[in-house]
Every structure is written in C-alpha cells, then in structure tokens.
Copies of this chain bind each other. A is one copy, B any other.
Amino acid sequence: MDYNYYMLIALEEAEKAEQIDEVPIGCVIVYKDEIIARGYNRRNKEKNVLAHAEIIAIDKACQKIGDWRLEDCTLFVTVEPCPMCCGAIVQARIKRIVFGCKNVKAGCCGSVLNIAQEQRFNHQVEIVEGIKQEQCSEMMKNFFKKKR
C-alpha cells in the first residue's frame, strides 16, 4: 500500500477545509486499495461537533460497506486523531491508522492517550505515523498563523 499516495489525497481534503476557513484536516479511508470514503473538517460550518474529517469519512465508509465494522480498512488522516475520532476508529475495528503530524494537545494515538492501542479494549489499531509529516504540519501552522 502506497502510504504517500493516499496521504496526498488526504492533504487535498485538508485543503478543502482550509478554503472554507476550517482547521485544515483531511481524511480518506481505503479498502482493498480503493478509496471508499473521504472527509474534511467542517465543524464550524456545520456547527456540529461530529463534523471532524474522520467521523465524516467513517460515516460514509459504513454506508458504502453496509456494515458498522470496517475491519479491513486503513484510515489516512493528516493530523493525529482526537479522543472522539480514535474511539470511533476502535469501535469500527479499523485495521490501521496512518497519520501525518502529531497533535500534542489532544492526539490519542500516543500523544496524550493511546486509545487506538489500549489493550483492555476489544480491538487495537496498527499505527503508522509521520507520512508527509512536514506538509501536514505546515498546513496547520500556516492556518493558525493567519488566524493570529
């Protein structure tokens, strides 16, 4: 599986968020080497806490697969997921998370907590980090620099 390729598509999704003045985070879900769902952060636009990139993509992936289990899927996201999104990933039994840059304040793939690999839950997720890290991180930094 070409991690760089899929992360570039996740970055394209993140750009869509940036264009509507949302924190630039993008996500794609891959099943059998095919992108089955995409999402970008729209929390402010939708005025809905559930409109994180990952939740939007997971919702679409469930509809596409026709199951709440996304067992053989890999989720690509530009920034380390928050507790809600990591929890959804574990609940959906997603096989692997690939993320770009860390989220030191709220990331739950090891930065604050490691929900994705908590041994007491009934599912643990493989984690790959640092794919297109610089690009993902720069996009976040530039966004918050403009905001200030």
Spell out A's residues near B (CB within 8 Å): 43-44, 46-52, 55, 58-59, 62-63, 66-70, 82-88, 90-92, 105-106, 108, 112-113, 115, 118, 120-122
Complex Cα spacing A47 to B92, Å: 11
Does A58 lie within 8 Å of B62, measured CB to CB?
no
Given contacts A47-B68, A50-B50, 20 further A-B contacts (CB under 8 A): A46-B62, A47-B62, A47-B66, A47-B67, A48-B68, A49-B58, A49-B70, A49-B92, A50-B55, A50-B62, A50-B88, A82-B91, A83-B121, A84-B88, A105-B122, A106-B122, A112-B118, A112-B120, A113-B113, A115-B115
* Number of copies of this chain that the complex holds: 2
Minimal Cβ-Cβ distance residue in B for A106: B121
Given contacts A68-B51, A88-B84, contact A121 B115 (CB under 8 A): no
Complex Cα spacing A44 to B122, Å: 18
Select which of B44, B105, B120 is within 8 A of A68 by beta carbon: B44
